[in-house]
Amino acid sequence: MTGAPAPVGPGDPVVLALLAAGMKDRAIARRLGVCERTVGRRVAALCRDLGAVTRFQAGAEAARRGWI
């Protein structure tokens, strides 16, 4: 589904790129300077928006759509 709207949050492309790289929530949170729980909630929302079952799949789907 190319042409889909890009992620809403300004940090979403970074989160998606880190997911695609296989990073865990704790590492992403440390990198972004936010709480691990915040990352978990954002990842869950991104997976839902992308129709992804796994975190890696969300990163791969975002790359396919040109979001990252």
Q: Where are the alpha helices (DSSP H) in 1-68?
A: 12-20, 25-32, 36-50, 55-64
For position 66, what pLDDT does the model report?
86
Q: How far apart are CA 35 and CA 51, in angstroms?
A: 24
Q: What is the pLDDT of residues 8-50, one digit of tens each?
A: 677 888 888 888 888 999 999 999 999 999 999 999 999 998 9
For position 1, what pLDDT does the model report?
47
Tell me which of 1.10.10.10, 3.40.50.720, 3.65.10.10, 3.20.20.105 is the CATH number of domain 12-63: 1.10.10.10
Q: Is the pLDDT of residue 3 over 60?
A: no
For position 57, what pLDDT does the model report?
86
What predicted TM-score, i.e. pTM, was given to this entire model? 0.79
Q: Is the pLDDT of residue 68 over 60?
A: yes
The residue ranges of every structural domain in the chain are 12-63
